[in-house]
Chain A
Amino acid sequence: DVKVTQSSRYLVKRTGEKVFLECVQDMDHENMFWYRQDPGLGLRLIYFSYDVKMKEKGDIPEGYSVSREKKERFSLILESASTNQTSMYLCASRGQGGYNTEAFFGQGTRLTVV
């Protein structure tokens, strides 16, 4: 029973391309997150959204933007991809049931920028 789905498992893009990473959840969660996962650096929060059309910067928003037009979908946009954005990207969603609510993760998108 897949609950958080990322549109691509692997992506290869060229430097300068505009890249869209899509994430969809079917749990009617208010909160959605985008992270990048790099060896030795753990999960670093890029952006999160607590409601439709609402977004907040995380720890490393530079070079990224997001879009949340519908509650179930949260998109991460790389305006002009660069090689240092080669990474594993994880999407997560979490309900508003309280601060002890579990987060659910997608399977990840491994992006390579060449």
Chain B
Amino acid sequence: AQRVTQPEKLLSVFKGAPVELKCNYSYSGSPELFWYVQYSRQRLQLLLRHISRESIKGFTADLNKGETSFHLKKPFAQEEDSAMYYCAPVDSGAGSYQLTFGKGTKLSVIP
């Protein structure tokens, strides 16, 4: 069965410290991978997607196919990064419509 795991429910770091939010997946084939973020009182929104190889708000995510991981990283955390983060693999197979999420990690950046 397809599965995505975010092992940390809550992650607290000090401002300026590095951040790593973990995501492991168990999918057949090669899924496309996304990170979504929900700031307080805002709707859930896309943060970044692997295929774009982009850095958004200082965050990057590296796909490690050997470890089946897609960890989200930022070298220096900011207070405005405090939010709920969800990892979301999407099956790359033909006809795939389903979009499932991990349980999420709440990041708290301490001033």
Taking beta carbons and an 8 Å cutoff, which residues of A are in contact with B?
31, 33, 35, 40-43, 45, 48, 50, 56, 58-59, 90, 92, 94, 99-100, 102-108
Closest to B92 in A: A99
Measured between beta carbons, the chain B residues less than 8 angstroms from A48 are 97-99
Measured between beta carbons, the chain B residues less than 8 angstroms from A105 are 43-45
Map CB proximity to A onto B5-27 as digits: 1 under 8 Å, 0 otherwise: 01001000000000000000000
Measured between beta carbons, the chain B residues less than 8 angstroms from A102 are 34, 46, 49
Measured between beta carbons, the chain A residues less than 8 angstroms from B100 are 45, 59
Is the CB of B59 closer than 8 A to any CB of chain A? no
Closest Cβ of chain B: how far from A29's Cβ, in Å? Answer: 11
Closest Cβ of chain B: how far from A36's Cβ, in Å? Answer: 12
